[in-house]
Amino acid sequence: MGRPRVEVNPKTGERLRIVAEEQQLRLKDLANLIFISPQNFSRIINGRASLTEANARLISAKYPQYSAEWLLGLVDYKNEALRPLYEAAMQADIRNDPEKRLERHYRAVNDLAELAGYPMLSMGERFVLFGQGEYADITFDDYERLCDDILDYVEFKAGQLLRKTLEKQNPAPGADTPGAGAGQKADGPLPSDHTTEQEV
């Protein structure tokens, strides 16, 4: 009776190619690193043979940025340091499922409105907006427009903050020159930080 067939993980070959490409190695060099013939290595690369755990650990010992588990196709993050980023990205994908995203959007708007002193109550297709001791029915269309406006504003302000922070961290060459006044570039004053309602 023959030996049981070992399942080959197709990710292994892909990941060995990634290592060779990123480290600018020939596949032959990678085969030499784990002490196997180029022919056997080719079989692993092409999904016809498995990379052993011992061989994966040899590669990982030489290039610690690639964990043995990633090389074996068991996880989708290259090393433990990247695991939190990978898990956060996965959670973001789940949260941004279209139906869940819409639900989160509405919930966030309701929370913000309540914090601003204008709580809203949803009653089927009817929305009641409270504030300053009064209340009024608002249509779903008005509510949806409010949600979109708030999301647009947050997107604009978050993008603006990101750009400004990146500019501070990575100033353009010649942005500051000797003799320029405080808050000035070489070619004139910095643009105003004020944002008008029209810009929003």
**Ranked by mean pLDDT, which of 62-66, 101-105, 114-118, 146-150 comes out on top?**
62-66
CATH of the domain at 24: 1.10.260.40
What is the rounded average pLDDT of the residues 55-76?
Answer: 92
Residue 55 — very low, low, confident or very high, per pLDDT cuts 50/70/90? very high
Q: What is the domain extent for residue 128?
A: 96-172
**Rounded CA separation 8/51 (Å):** 8
**Rounded CA separation 110/117 (Å):** 11
Is the pLDDT assigned to residue 81 strictly greater than 90?
A: no
Predicted pLDDT of residue 147: 85
User: What's this model's pTM, rounded to 2 decimal places?
Assistant: 0.45
Q: Report if residue 42 sits inside a domain.
A: yes
Is the pLDDT assigned to residue 160 strictly greater than 70?
A: yes
List the end-to-end C-alpha distance of the chain, in Å, as a whole number: 74
Predicted pLDDT of residue 183: 43
Residues 110 and 156 in one domain: yes
User: To 10 degrees, what angle do helices 98-115 and 140-169 make?
Assistant: 90
106: exposed, middle or buried (Cβ count in 10 Å: 0-12, 13-18, 19+): middle
Predicted pLDDT of residue 65: 92
Predicted pLDDT of residue 58: 94
Domain final residue pick, 31, 51, 82: 82
SS3 126: strand
HSE, side-chain direction, 13 A CA sphere, residue 77 = 12
